[in-house]
Amino acid sequence: MINLNYENTLVSAVGSEGISPEKLESLKKDGFRILEELKEDPPGFMQLPLRFEEARDISARAASLKGFKNLVVLGIGGSALGNITLHQALNDPYYNLRSDRPGPRLFVLDNSDPAWTESLARLIDVKETLFNVITKSGSTAETLANFFFFLEKLKKETPDWKEHIVITTGEKGFLREFADENSLRTFPVPEPVGGRYSVLSEVGLLPAAICGIDILKLLEGASDAMENEHVPVIYAALQYYYYKKGKNINVFMPYSKRLESAADWFRQLWAESLGKNEKTGPTPVKALGATDQHSQMQLYMEGPRDKIITFLTVNETEPELRIDYGGHFLSGKSIRDLFNAESRGSMQALTEASRPNMCLEIPEVNAYHTGELIYQLEAACVIAGRMFGVDPFDQPGVELGKKLAYQILGTE
């Protein structure tokens, strides 16, 4: 299973910048206590890995939706980032270009930028496209704006426009009423689940299943992760400790291009859950190895000591790709050798500079371990929120911006 290697956060590795074993044990006790309290009344995200029956139903219904050439997901934030993460991790990097792909081309329209929407409209034929509209509230303005735009095109270009729409939403709201009035296909967003914790619900599982991802394996990995409690507890404890020691920036750095979007998903999870009450605000920063060794590592090595680095590595990295070029030092090695050496080199360099870092080690990027990773990070985030004394499930700071935008539009 996924392992958390935190050796490079200890005093034995980074000296006075590190945490003592005694302090870590004390914080771990707090973390396990919090976890036991959560189990007494499990929040929504803890219930999702056990919904195998619902996942089988989703898979069955998704099979009837694979006949479209395109799948366009209309959503934003938690309704989009998880979908992008699953697709990038578990499908071929050039999935949309492959003739042997296991489902329709996938496009996730997660912004109301008109240039982006118009460009997609020129690329696809709506008569060959399924639109999955995702918003729990049923009233997210950015999502509805894109939906209304494509809805008008659908109504003009095909009489069976209703067959091109699937709505994933909550029990109430505009979209629920719209779907009922027009007898559209719908999927629920489980009521106790917030957007940024919803990727293992219908929000993420339906598009994944349509695009050929094994969603039962996703849930299997997540459900098994519920037994591996040390990973989220220790991760939360270390993040809490280092924040209190002035390291208020959490750099999340996958050494896997397939997990790059997982850093985007994590960034929302961490920021929106823990930035609260003007007193708590660990700032997540996305980086990608080895790309950002050439853009950010200088800052991490010699800049302010205000960062804790989380690496994400894969034990079984993709093809070897041997190199054979004369007397060059790379000859006889492989691109995989270079990639792995770069991750180890980065960790060692930071440690020698007394810069605390830790590593989430994933055996392989597959559906099982992706589900496992998602659950472990969600659990760690909620435990950390309880340690910080904030509600990891609300987002009042987001709501004000929405309200002011609606006022500017003249709707309030």
Catalytic residues: 272, 294, 402
Tokens describing residue 198: 């919803």
CA-CA distance, 235 to 174, in Å (whole number)? 39
Residue type, 383: I
- Kindly give, in sequence order, each residue whose CB lies less than 8 Å from that of residue 25, ignoring residues fewer than 6 positions away: none
What is the distance between the alpha carbons of residues 273 and 197, in angstroms, rounded to a whole number? 10
By CB atoms closer than 10 A (0-12, 13-18, 19+), residue 138 is buried
Q: Are 239 and 75 in contact (CB under 8 A)?
A: no
